[in-house]
Chains A and B, each alone.
Chain A
Amino acid sequence: EVQLVESGGGLVQPGRSLRLSCVASGFTFDEQGMHWVRQLPGKGLEWVAGITYNGGRREYADSVKGRFTISRDNGKESLYLQMNSLRAEDTALYYCAKDWSNWNFFDSWGQGTRVIVSS
């Protein structure tokens, strides 16, 4: 059974940094692309960033480009999102999501970790 467990969320002041983690199990992690998707409070879904199976391709939403960095450690079966220069509009529930293959669609999601950016 695929499991994705996010952690690292919390309350942070504007302009500060936070690092999210996602530990994966139940599938061959180093063969799948991975993504971060967020859900603003009471709103819909927004793709944030994605990374291919070997980290060779990384893509970002325009809203986070230059501030967020996605990475992975295949040895630790873990996905990360380094979030710098956080803004109030980054407040959201952040989901880790597994790609069906390498860059296709998301077939499994974690339960999410909540980030609140506020002074």
Chain B
Amino acid sequence: EIVMTQSPLSLPVTPGEPASISCRSSQSLLHSNGFNYLHWYLQKPGQSPQLLIYLGSNRASGVPDRFSGSGSGTDFTLKISRVEAEDVGVYYCMQSRQTPPFTFGPGTIVDI
């Protein structure tokens, strides 16, 4: 089973400032097809998770361009260029390179 870790686990942010979350996997998520099977989700307070970034660096439909994903292999980063108040919540990374199971990171709580 691929184990996912995230850092930090808690991230205080300031509106208008950048923010960054790291995600690491115990095995490479890079497929021979060139895609990294790493995805990012945001769970806003009281809501279900929503897809932000898929396959490492692709923004999901409707996701603002202040969100970006990067990385390859075992090290990945989610960046918010300028945090807005609506960005608070818990951010999870998830791998689908080797399943079952699909595995999530522990989550990073982002709060203002």
Contact = CB atoms under 8 A, between A and B. Distances in A.
Contact of A109 (B50, B102, B105): B50
Contacts, number: 60
A112 B48 contact: yes
A44 interface: yes
Contacts of B94: 45, 105-106
Interface residues of A, number: 22
Given A104-B96, A105-B54, A107-B54, A61 B101 contact: yes
B92 A47 contact: no
A50 B48 contact: no
Interface string A97-119: 00010011111111110000000
Interface residues of B, number: 24
A51 to B, nearest CB: 12
Given A103-B99, A107-B60, A95 B51 contact: no
Contact of A61 (B41, B49, B96, B100): B100
A106 B54 CA distance: 9
Contact of A50 (B102, B104, B105, B106): B102
A47 B54 contact: no
Interface of A: 35, 44-47, 50, 59-62, 95, 100, 103-112
